[in-house]
Amino acid sequence: MIRITLYLALLLFAIAGLAWMADHPGAVTIQFEGLQLYTSFAALTMAIALMILFASLLVYLWIWLRTDAPLLGRNRIYKRQRQGFEYLNQSMLALAAGDTSRARRLITNAETLLPPQPMVQLIAAEAATRDGDHTAAAEHYRALEKDDKARFLGLRGLIGEARRTGRSAEALRLAREALGENKKSLWALETIFRLEIAACDWLAAALTLNSAQKLGLFDEKTTRSHRAALLYAQSIEEQMAGNEEAAKKSLTLALKDRPGFVAASDRLARIESVVGKMARAEKILAAAYGHNPHSEILASLLRLNPTISDIAWRDKLAKFIGIQKDHSVSLLALAEAELACDHVKVTRRLLEALLQAAPTRSAWRLMAHLQDAEGGDSQNARDKSNSAPVDASWECDSCGQNLVSWHVICPSCDGFDCISWGDHTLNHVRASRASVESYIPITLLNEIATPNAPPVE
């Protein structure tokens, strides 16, 4: 309302001025180089006004040509970029909806309209990967690698492509380049660590593990566990090369990091027994059993004494289990030894205690054997053994596969140091293990969105 009032006031003022000039035209004479021009003041004023208006129109035309002209204007670039960003946003929505063909078409349009930038290449690579066109995806990642600001992302994508096609050496080289770009990248460190393990380069993996711990990739417990596993794997190679002393040293260090490490204890005890150091071998197994009462340690002890009598085995076992005499593994082993010696009453007492703590299939089956030895009815015990919880076993934390023995690398999923003893008998909750995805997810955007989804082998 105020503006309309002002406009009307200005219009009235202009009309009044024109009317006044019409009533008072005046006279103007201009002389220049012998030229004389006679006119009125009103006409001269109108001419000047028209000249000013014409000059303004010329200036406006020039500005329009520089900005809004369809072919030459600066706004043409802005409009192209606005359209490009619109295509970019639509391509993201198409990816989210799973329409990869449309996403690729839209991002191609965006790439045409927008200046080179990482986001366009990243989404184009994502769309190509989801569409199964890995060649195009690799091209886009290479374009990212050439961009100083996006080199790390480009390397990360190329690493994924190299691993997908089985080029582990190339992936390791690129991962080390990526770490050079960002020395604090946990992802790069973890990738290097997993690739070094895949290459069985245990020494390099141990050095990377130390760096990873310093940056907080692994906690202290996981670091010690991984280091022990690496030392165990190294000891196997050293022993195969005939370097028994180096193998013993590696296994000793592994047991220092991971007391009660079943596989390391068994291997070290075997090495000592081969050279006739039976007492030393049994001491190693006893120390491990004190930390980790495990049936395989008892099996290792029995392998060291293959010709031992039932009575002697019972006596050795009773001394060997030491402070772990009330553990379910100890109770079961002692009950089996006592039954082999026909000590029925002692066996029953041990089994009753065992069935209260860990009513597993093995415990009920041994009870059935005991009842047969006593001449009683063992059918009830056999029925219960069929429905009782299964005994503890080796199980991969990554893929859930049950295994006969412990391995450095899971033979089912290639996971590193992810096999643990599933103690179903006592319903122990397995401690969660801080691990890192070893395989890059399907696409780079997925991986960036969930950068440390529990690191898996």
pLDDT bin (cut points 50, 70, 90) of residue 30 is confident
pLDDT bin (cut points 50, 70, 90) of residue 64 is low
What confidence tens digit (pLDDT) does each residue in 182-197 have?
888 899 999 999 999 9
| Six-digit token string for 320 | 């060997």
pLDDT bin (cut points 50, 70, 90) of residue 426 is very low
Q: Given a cut of 60, is residue 295 above it in pLDDT?
A: yes
Site of tokens 């072919």: 71
The better pLDDT of the pair 208, 61 is held by 208
pTM beyond 0.95:
no
The better pLDDT of the pair 429, 10 is held by 10
How confident is the model at residue 451, as a pLDDT?
44
What confidence tens digit (pLDDT) does each residue in 383-394 have?
888 888 888 889
Task: Answer whether 110's CB lies under 8 Å from 81's CB.
Answer: no
What confidence tens digit (pLDDT) does each residue in 77-90 have?
677 778 888 888 89
Mean pLDDT of 123-139: 88
Q: What is the mean pLDDT of the chain?
A: 83
| Six-digit token string for 434 | 């801080």
d(C-alpha 378, C-alpha 440), whole Å: 54
